[in-house]
Amino acid sequence: MADLQFFENFLKNKQFIPEKLHTYYLHWVARFLTHCGHRKVEANDEEQIEPFLHELAKTKEEWQVKQAREALRLFLFAQTQAAAGDTALFRATNDPDQGWKLVATKMTEALRLRHRSIRTEKTYLQWLRSFYGFLDGKMPTEIDSQDVKRFLSHLAVERNIAASTQNQAFSALLFLFRHVLDRELAELADTVRAKPTRKLPVVLAKPQIMQIFALLDGVYLLMARLIYGCGLRVQECVSLRVKDLDFAKSCITIRSGKGDKDRLTMMPESIKNSLLAYLDQPRQLFDQDAVEKNSQGVWLPNALDRKYPNAGKEWGWFWLFPAPKLAIDPRSGRTIRHHLHVSNLQRQFKDAVRATKVPLNASVHSLRHSFATHLLERGHDIRTIQELLGHANLQTTMIYTHVVGKNILGVTSPLDD
Protein backbone atom coordinates (compact mmCIF):
# COMPACT_ATOMS: atom_id res chain seq x y z
CA MET A 1 0.00 0.00 0.00
CA ALA A 2 1.85 3.01 -1.31
CA ASP A 3 -0.30 5.50 0.65
CA LEU A 4 0.44 3.78 3.96
CA GLN A 5 4.19 3.59 3.24
CA PHE A 6 4.15 7.25 2.27
CA PHE A 7 2.45 8.18 5.58
CA GLU A 8 4.91 6.08 7.60
CA ASN A 9 7.81 7.99 6.04
CA PHE A 10 6.00 11.27 6.76
CA LEU A 11 5.67 10.38 10.46
CA LYS A 12 9.34 9.40 10.74
CA ASN A 13 10.42 12.75 9.31
CA LYS A 14 8.25 14.78 11.71
CA GLN A 15 10.03 15.24 15.01
CA PHE A 16 7.01 16.92 16.63
CA ILE A 17 4.91 13.71 16.38
CA PRO A 18 5.77 11.36 19.32
CA GLU A 19 7.17 8.09 18.11
CA LYS A 20 4.88 6.12 20.43
CA LEU A 21 1.89 7.36 18.40
CA HIS A 22 3.20 6.23 15.01
CA THR A 23 1.85 2.68 15.32
CA TYR A 24 -1.62 3.87 16.33
CA TYR A 25 -1.77 6.51 13.59
CA LEU A 26 -0.75 3.95 10.97
CA HIS A 27 -3.41 1.55 12.28
CA TRP A 28 -6.21 4.10 11.87
CA VAL A 29 -5.03 5.15 8.42
CA ALA A 30 -4.88 1.51 7.33
CA ARG A 31 -8.48 1.02 8.48
CA PHE A 32 -9.50 4.19 6.68
CA LEU A 33 -7.89 3.00 3.44
CA THR A 34 -9.73 -0.31 3.78
CA HIS A 35 -12.95 1.67 4.31
CA CYS A 36 -12.21 3.55 1.07
CA GLY A 37 -11.67 0.31 -0.84
CA HIS A 38 -7.87 0.74 -1.03
CA ARG A 39 -8.29 3.33 -3.76
CA LYS A 40 -5.81 6.19 -4.11
CA VAL A 41 -6.75 8.78 -1.47
CA GLU A 42 -6.38 12.39 -2.59
CA ALA A 43 -5.59 15.44 -0.48
CA ASN A 44 -9.15 16.77 -0.89
CA ASP A 45 -10.85 13.61 0.42
CA GLU A 46 -11.63 15.11 3.84
CA GLU A 47 -15.37 14.53 3.38
CA GLN A 48 -14.69 10.78 3.53
CA ILE A 49 -13.44 11.08 7.12
CA GLU A 50 -16.77 11.75 8.85
CA PRO A 51 -18.63 8.64 7.54
CA PHE A 52 -15.64 6.50 8.57
CA LEU A 53 -15.50 8.04 12.07
CA HIS A 54 -19.27 7.67 12.42
CA GLU A 55 -18.94 3.92 11.83
CA LEU A 56 -15.91 3.74 14.14
CA ALA A 57 -17.82 5.44 16.98
CA LYS A 58 -20.27 2.52 17.08
CA THR A 59 -17.64 0.12 18.44
CA LYS A 60 -14.81 2.31 19.76
CA GLU A 61 -14.44 4.68 22.69
CA GLU A 62 -14.45 8.45 22.30
CA TRP A 63 -10.68 8.85 22.82
CA GLN A 64 -10.01 6.29 20.08
CA VAL A 65 -12.26 8.14 17.62
CA LYS A 66 -10.50 11.40 18.49
CA GLN A 67 -7.09 9.76 17.93
CA ALA A 68 -8.28 8.36 14.60
CA ARG A 69 -9.50 11.82 13.54
CA GLU A 70 -6.10 13.34 14.30
CA ALA A 71 -4.31 10.55 12.40
CA LEU A 72 -6.49 11.02 9.32
CA ARG A 73 -6.11 14.79 9.31
CA LEU A 74 -2.33 14.38 9.49
CA PHE A 75 -2.57 11.88 6.64
CA LEU A 76 -4.50 14.30 4.42
CA PHE A 77 -2.14 17.10 5.42
CA ALA A 78 0.78 14.94 4.27
CA GLN A 79 -1.04 14.40 0.98
CA THR A 80 -1.52 18.16 0.63
CA GLN A 81 2.19 18.80 1.18
CA ALA A 82 3.11 16.14 -1.35
CA ALA A 83 0.69 17.56 -3.91
CA ALA A 84 2.07 21.05 -3.44
CA GLY A 85 5.68 19.99 -3.57
CA ASP A 86 6.11 21.00 0.12
CA THR A 87 8.74 23.72 0.67
CA ALA A 88 9.84 23.53 -2.96
CA LEU A 89 7.06 26.00 -3.64
CA PHE A 90 8.79 28.54 -1.40
CA ARG A 91 11.90 28.21 -3.55
CA ALA A 92 9.99 28.58 -6.81
CA THR A 93 9.90 32.35 -6.56
CA ASN A 94 12.54 35.00 -5.98
CA ASP A 95 9.93 37.49 -4.80
CA PRO A 96 9.90 37.66 -0.96
CA ASP A 97 6.33 38.99 -0.95
CA GLN A 98 5.06 36.03 -2.94
CA GLY A 99 7.09 33.61 -0.85
CA TRP A 100 5.68 34.93 2.44
CA LYS A 101 2.13 35.00 1.05
CA LEU A 102 2.53 31.32 0.29
CA VAL A 103 3.87 30.73 3.80
CA ALA A 104 0.82 32.50 5.23
CA THR A 105 -1.49 30.30 3.16
CA LYS A 106 0.27 27.12 4.31
CA MET A 107 0.20 28.32 7.91
CA THR A 108 -3.55 28.89 7.71
CA GLU A 109 -4.03 25.37 6.35
CA ALA A 110 -1.88 23.87 9.12
CA LEU A 111 -3.77 25.77 11.83
CA ARG A 112 -7.15 24.66 10.52
CA LEU A 113 -5.92 21.08 10.22
CA ARG A 114 -5.25 21.12 13.96
CA HIS A 115 -8.60 22.74 14.80
CA ARG A 116 -7.04 25.90 16.21
CA SER A 117 -9.57 28.63 16.92
CA ILE A 118 -10.14 31.55 14.58
CA ARG A 119 -8.65 33.85 17.25
CA THR A 120 -5.44 31.77 17.36
CA GLU A 121 -5.33 31.82 13.56
CA LYS A 122 -5.58 35.61 13.42
CA THR A 123 -3.00 36.06 16.19
CA TYR A 124 -0.43 33.72 14.62
CA LEU A 125 -0.81 35.35 11.21
CA GLN A 126 -0.34 38.77 12.80
CA TRP A 127 2.96 37.61 14.34
CA LEU A 128 3.95 36.15 10.98
CA ARG A 129 3.44 39.57 9.38
CA SER A 130 5.46 41.26 12.16
CA PHE A 131 8.27 38.73 11.72
CA TYR A 132 8.32 39.30 7.95
CA GLY A 133 8.49 43.08 8.46
CA PHE A 134 11.36 42.67 10.93
CA LEU A 135 13.35 40.54 8.44
CA ASP A 136 13.14 43.32 5.82
CA GLY A 137 12.63 41.23 2.68
CA LYS A 138 14.50 38.04 3.62
CA MET A 139 13.20 34.94 1.82
CA PRO A 140 11.36 32.34 3.98
CA THR A 141 13.80 29.64 2.83
CA GLU A 142 16.73 31.63 4.26
CA ILE A 143 15.48 32.25 7.82
CA ASP A 144 16.88 30.31 10.76
CA SER A 145 16.85 30.22 14.57
CA GLN A 146 19.14 33.27 14.71
CA ASP A 147 16.45 35.36 13.05
CA VAL A 148 13.94 34.18 15.63
CA LYS A 149 16.40 34.97 18.42
CA ARG A 150 16.94 38.51 17.11
CA PHE A 151 13.20 39.06 16.71
CA LEU A 152 12.38 37.92 20.27
CA SER A 153 15.21 40.04 21.67
CA HIS A 154 13.86 43.01 19.69
CA LEU A 155 10.42 42.49 21.24
CA ALA A 156 11.84 42.30 24.75
CA VAL A 157 14.41 45.12 24.58
CA GLU A 158 13.09 47.68 22.11
CA ARG A 159 9.35 47.17 22.26
CA ASN A 160 9.35 46.20 25.95
CA ILE A 161 6.38 43.86 25.56
CA ALA A 162 4.95 41.70 28.33
CA ALA A 163 6.38 38.24 28.90
CA SER A 164 3.09 36.59 27.96
CA THR A 165 3.01 38.49 24.65
CA GLN A 166 6.56 37.44 23.83
CA ASN A 167 5.70 33.83 24.62
CA GLN A 168 2.76 34.13 22.26
CA ALA A 169 5.09 35.37 19.50
CA PHE A 170 7.49 32.49 20.19
CA SER A 171 4.62 29.95 19.94
CA ALA A 172 3.60 31.40 16.58
CA LEU A 173 7.14 31.16 15.20
CA LEU A 174 7.62 27.69 16.63
CA PHE A 175 4.45 26.63 14.80
CA LEU A 176 5.79 28.25 11.62
CA PHE A 177 9.05 26.29 11.71
CA ARG A 178 7.60 22.94 12.78
CA HIS A 179 4.39 22.74 10.78
CA VAL A 180 4.97 24.98 7.77
CA LEU A 181 8.71 25.05 7.05
CA ASP A 182 9.15 21.51 8.45
CA ARG A 183 12.22 22.48 10.49
CA GLU A 184 13.17 22.59 14.16
CA LEU A 185 14.22 25.66 16.13
CA ALA A 186 17.46 25.30 18.06
CA GLU A 187 20.01 27.29 20.09
CA LEU A 188 17.56 29.72 21.65
CA ALA A 189 18.83 29.41 25.21
CA ASP A 190 20.59 32.79 25.23
CA THR A 191 17.68 34.71 23.69
CA VAL A 192 16.74 37.87 25.57
CA ARG A 193 13.30 37.18 27.01
CA ALA A 194 10.82 39.50 28.67
CA LYS A 195 10.91 39.04 32.42
CA PRO A 196 7.80 37.18 33.59
CA THR A 197 5.76 38.91 36.27
CA ARG A 198 3.38 37.41 38.75
CA LYS A 199 0.26 39.49 39.18
CA LEU A 200 -2.52 38.86 41.65
CA PRO A 201 -6.01 38.72 40.14
CA VAL A 202 -8.33 41.69 40.61
CA VAL A 203 -11.13 40.61 42.95
CA LEU A 204 -14.27 42.65 43.58
CA ALA A 205 -16.12 42.64 46.89
CA LYS A 206 -19.77 41.56 46.79
CA PRO A 207 -21.09 45.14 47.39
CA GLN A 208 -18.91 46.41 44.53
CA ILE A 209 -20.28 43.74 42.20
CA MET A 210 -23.84 44.70 43.11
CA GLN A 211 -23.01 48.35 42.39
CA ILE A 212 -21.75 47.45 38.92
CA PHE A 213 -24.72 45.17 38.22
CA ALA A 214 -27.07 48.02 39.09
CA LEU A 215 -25.67 49.98 36.11
CA LEU A 216 -26.04 47.10 33.64
CA ASP A 217 -29.31 46.02 32.09
CA GLY A 218 -30.80 43.61 29.61
CA VAL A 219 -28.63 40.92 28.07
CA TYR A 220 -25.40 42.41 29.46
CA LEU A 221 -26.64 42.18 33.03
CA LEU A 222 -27.65 38.56 32.45
CA MET A 223 -24.23 37.71 30.97
CA ALA A 224 -22.39 39.40 33.85
CA ARG A 225 -24.51 37.52 36.40
CA LEU A 226 -23.77 34.23 34.63
CA ILE A 227 -20.02 34.87 34.61
CA TYR A 228 -19.98 35.72 38.32
CA GLY A 229 -22.50 33.06 39.34
CA CYS A 230 -20.93 30.22 37.33
CA GLY A 231 -17.24 31.20 37.12
CA LEU A 232 -17.26 31.39 33.31
CA ARG A 233 -14.64 32.87 31.02
CA VAL A 234 -16.02 35.64 28.82
CA GLN A 235 -15.68 33.57 25.63
CA GLU A 236 -17.36 30.61 27.32
CA CYS A 237 -20.31 32.83 28.23
CA VAL A 238 -20.90 34.27 24.76
CA SER A 239 -20.47 30.79 23.21
CA LEU A 240 -23.26 29.15 25.22
CA ARG A 241 -26.00 27.43 23.24
CA VAL A 242 -29.60 26.80 24.26
CA LYS A 243 -28.99 23.07 24.72
CA ASP A 244 -26.22 23.77 27.25
CA LEU A 245 -28.77 24.87 29.86
CA ASP A 246 -30.23 22.11 32.06
CA PHE A 247 -32.90 23.68 34.24
CA ALA A 248 -33.99 20.32 35.71
CA LYS A 249 -30.52 19.51 37.06
CA SER A 250 -29.58 23.18 37.71
CA CYS A 251 -26.36 22.93 35.74
CA ILE A 252 -24.72 24.44 32.67
CA THR A 253 -22.42 22.56 30.27
CA ILE A 254 -19.39 24.45 29.02
CA ARG A 255 -18.46 23.09 25.59
CA SER A 256 -14.91 23.24 24.23
CA GLY A 257 -13.56 25.56 26.92
CA LYS A 258 -9.89 26.40 27.26
CA GLY A 259 -7.87 23.42 26.07
CA ASP A 260 -10.92 22.22 24.09
CA LYS A 261 -12.38 20.62 27.24
CA ASP A 262 -16.00 20.25 28.33
CA ARG A 263 -17.09 20.71 31.93
CA LEU A 264 -20.15 21.19 34.11
CA THR A 265 -20.84 24.11 36.41
CA MET A 266 -23.79 25.02 38.60
CA MET A 267 -26.74 27.13 37.51
CA PRO A 268 -27.56 29.64 40.28
CA GLU A 269 -31.15 29.32 41.47
CA SER A 270 -31.47 33.11 41.53
CA ILE A 271 -30.91 33.35 37.78
CA LYS A 272 -33.23 30.57 36.56
CA ASN A 273 -36.33 32.74 36.15
CA SER A 274 -34.32 35.45 34.38
CA LEU A 275 -32.90 32.88 31.95
CA LEU A 276 -36.32 31.37 31.23
CA ALA A 277 -37.81 34.80 30.57
CA TYR A 278 -34.84 35.82 28.42
CA LEU A 279 -35.11 32.78 26.11
CA ASP A 280 -37.94 34.53 24.26
CA GLN A 281 -35.42 36.97 22.77
CA PRO A 282 -33.12 34.45 21.01
CA ARG A 283 -36.24 32.48 20.03
CA GLN A 284 -37.50 35.48 18.05
CA LEU A 285 -34.20 35.63 16.11
CA PHE A 286 -34.30 31.86 15.61
CA ASP A 287 -37.82 32.06 14.12
CA GLN A 288 -36.71 35.00 11.98
CA ASP A 289 -33.76 33.01 10.59
CA ALA A 290 -36.05 30.08 9.81
CA VAL A 291 -37.82 32.14 7.14
CA GLU A 292 -34.76 34.13 6.04
CA LYS A 293 -33.55 32.81 2.67
CA ASN A 294 -29.93 33.91 3.18
CA SER A 295 -29.55 32.39 6.64
CA GLN A 296 -27.75 29.05 6.86
CA GLY A 297 -28.19 28.56 10.61
CA VAL A 298 -25.34 28.83 13.12
CA TRP A 299 -21.76 27.64 13.06
CA LEU A 300 -21.20 24.03 14.17
CA PRO A 301 -17.93 22.52 15.44
CA ASN A 302 -15.94 19.62 13.97
CA ALA A 303 -17.68 19.49 10.59
CA LEU A 304 -21.03 18.57 12.19
CA ASP A 305 -22.74 20.63 9.49
CA ARG A 306 -21.66 17.95 6.97
CA LYS A 307 -22.61 15.04 9.20
CA TYR A 308 -25.92 16.61 10.24
CA PRO A 309 -26.73 19.22 7.54
CA ASN A 310 -29.78 20.64 9.34
CA ALA A 311 -28.39 20.69 12.91
CA GLY A 312 -27.32 24.32 12.53
CA LYS A 313 -30.97 25.26 12.06
CA GLU A 314 -32.20 23.45 15.21
CA TRP A 315 -33.26 25.39 18.31
CA GLY A 316 -30.94 23.46 20.64
CA TRP A 317 -27.85 24.52 18.69
CA PHE A 318 -28.87 28.19 18.57
CA TRP A 319 -26.72 30.68 20.47
CA LEU A 320 -27.97 31.76 23.87
CA PHE A 321 -26.61 35.24 23.15
CA PRO A 322 -26.97 35.64 19.36
CA ALA A 323 -25.69 38.65 17.44
CA PRO A 324 -28.46 40.96 16.19
CA LYS A 325 -27.38 40.67 12.54
CA LEU A 326 -26.35 37.86 10.20
CA ALA A 327 -22.67 37.69 9.23
CA ILE A 328 -20.33 35.96 6.78
CA ASP A 329 -18.33 33.12 8.31
CA PRO A 330 -14.63 33.97 7.64
CA ARG A 331 -13.73 30.34 6.94
CA SER A 332 -16.64 28.86 5.02
CA GLY A 333 -18.01 32.07 3.47
CA ARG A 334 -21.56 31.05 4.50
CA THR A 335 -24.14 33.52 5.83
CA ILE A 336 -24.78 32.50 9.44
CA ARG A 337 -25.92 33.87 12.79
CA HIS A 338 -22.95 34.32 15.11
CA HIS A 339 -22.96 35.00 18.86
CA LEU A 340 -22.37 38.41 20.43
CA HIS A 341 -18.77 39.55 20.33
CA VAL A 342 -16.96 39.61 23.67
CA SER A 343 -16.05 43.28 23.16
CA ASN A 344 -19.71 44.27 23.51
CA LEU A 345 -19.88 43.01 27.10
CA GLN A 346 -16.36 44.19 27.92
CA ARG A 347 -17.19 47.74 26.85
CA GLN A 348 -20.46 47.84 28.80
CA PHE A 349 -18.77 46.46 31.92
CA LYS A 350 -15.89 48.95 31.76
CA ASP A 351 -18.35 51.84 31.48
CA ALA A 352 -20.21 50.55 34.53
CA VAL A 353 -16.98 50.22 36.56
CA ARG A 354 -16.01 53.80 35.72
CA ALA A 355 -19.47 55.07 36.65
CA THR A 356 -19.35 53.39 40.08
CA LYS A 357 -15.84 54.81 40.69
CA VAL A 358 -14.68 51.45 42.04
CA PRO A 359 -10.95 52.03 42.69
CA LEU A 360 -9.84 48.85 40.92
CA ASN A 361 -8.71 48.06 37.39
CA ALA A 362 -11.55 45.58 37.04
CA SER A 363 -12.62 43.84 33.83
CA VAL A 364 -15.32 41.27 33.09
CA HIS A 365 -12.78 38.55 33.90
CA SER A 366 -12.60 39.95 37.43
CA LEU A 367 -16.05 38.43 37.97
CA ARG A 368 -14.55 34.96 37.39
CA HIS A 369 -11.76 35.78 39.86
CA SER A 370 -14.37 36.98 42.35
CA PHE A 371 -16.38 33.76 41.91
CA ALA A 372 -13.37 31.62 42.89
CA THR A 373 -12.27 33.87 45.75
CA HIS A 374 -15.74 34.13 47.28
CA LEU A 375 -16.15 30.35 47.16
CA LEU A 376 -12.86 30.00 49.03
CA GLU A 377 -14.02 32.48 51.64
CA ARG A 378 -17.16 30.39 52.15
CA GLY A 379 -15.02 27.34 52.92
CA HIS A 380 -15.29 25.32 49.69
CA ASP A 381 -12.26 23.13 48.97
CA ILE A 382 -9.72 24.12 46.34
CA ARG A 383 -10.18 20.96 44.21
CA THR A 384 -13.90 21.60 43.78
CA ILE A 385 -13.16 25.16 42.70
CA GLN A 386 -10.54 23.85 40.28
CA GLU A 387 -13.16 21.62 38.62
CA LEU A 388 -15.71 24.44 38.41
CA LEU A 389 -13.16 26.79 36.83
CA GLY A 390 -11.84 24.17 34.41
CA HIS A 391 -8.19 24.58 35.43
CA ALA A 392 -5.89 21.79 34.25
CA ASN A 393 -3.33 22.57 36.97
CA LEU A 394 -4.15 23.00 40.65
CA GLN A 395 -1.38 25.61 40.94
CA THR A 396 -3.42 27.91 38.71
CA THR A 397 -6.31 27.74 41.16
CA MET A 398 -4.03 28.23 44.18
CA ILE A 399 -3.42 31.86 43.16
CA TYR A 400 -6.78 32.73 44.74
CA THR A 401 -5.51 31.77 48.18
CA HIS A 402 -3.33 34.89 48.01
CA VAL A 403 -6.26 37.28 47.57
CA VAL A 404 -8.91 35.66 49.73
CA GLY A 405 -10.35 38.18 52.18
CA LYS A 406 -10.87 35.72 55.01
CA ASN A 407 -7.83 33.91 56.38
CA ILE A 408 -8.64 30.33 55.36
CA LEU A 409 -5.73 28.93 57.41
CA GLY A 410 -7.21 30.21 60.64
CA VAL A 411 -3.94 31.88 61.60
CA THR A 412 -4.25 34.79 64.04
CA SER A 413 -1.82 37.69 63.77
CA PRO A 414 0.15 38.40 67.00
CA LEU A 415 -1.04 41.99 66.69
CA ASP A 416 -4.61 40.77 67.37
CA ASP A 417 -3.73 38.98 70.62
Calpha distance 302→322 (Å, rounded): 20
Q: How many CB atoms within 10 Å of residue 292?
A: 13
Handedness of CA 121, 95, 177, 179 (dihedral sign): positive
Contacts of 10 (CB under 8 A, 6+ apart): 74, 78
The DSSP secondary-structure symbol of 262 reads -
Catalytic residues: 233, 258, 365, 368, 391, 400
Q: In whole angstroms, what is the distance from residue 140 CA to residue 121 CA?
A: 19
Q: Which domains does the chain have, with CATH numbers?
A: 2-84 (1.10.150), 93-180 (1.10.150.130), 206-389 (1.10.443.10)
Return d(Cα 362, Cα 202) in angstroms, integer. 6
* HSE-CB for 273 with a 13 A CA cutoff: 1
Question: How far lies 214's CA from each of 209, 222, 355, in Å?
Answer: 9, 12, 11
pLDDT (tens, 9 = 90+) of the chain, 417 residues, equals 456 777 777 777 665 677 788 888 888 888 888 887 755 555 455 566 778 888 888 888 888 888 888 888 888 777 766 655 545 555 555 677 888 888 898 898 888 877 788 889 999 999 999 999 999 888 888 888 889 988 988 888 888 888 888 889 999 998 998 888 877 777 665 566 666 677 889 999 999 999 999 999 999 999 999 999 999 999 999 999 999 999 999 999 998 877 778 899 999 999 999 999 999 999 999 999 998 888 888 988 866 767 777 888 999 999 999 999 999 888 778 899 999 999 999 999 999 999 998 889 999 999 999 999 999 988 888 999 999 999 988 888 888 887 776 555 555 556 555
Q: What is the pTM of this model?
A: 0.72
Selection from 45, 1, 47, 54 nearest residue 27 by Cα: 1
**DSSP-assigned beta bridge partners for residue 335:** 328
Tell me, what DSSP letter sits at residue 36?
A: T
Nearest to 86 by CA among 116, 109, 114: 109
Can you give the length of the chain in residues?
417
The residues, any chain, with a CB within 8 Å of residue 403's CB and separated by 6 or more, are: 200, 201, 203, 369, 373
Spatial distance between the Cα atoms of 316 and 298, rounded to a whole number of angstroms: 11
Question: What's residue 113's pLDDT?
Answer: 76
CA pseudo-torsion sign 40, 43, 45, 49: positive
| pLDDT tens figures, 266-311 | 999 999 999 999 999 999 999 999 988 888 889 888 667 677 778 8
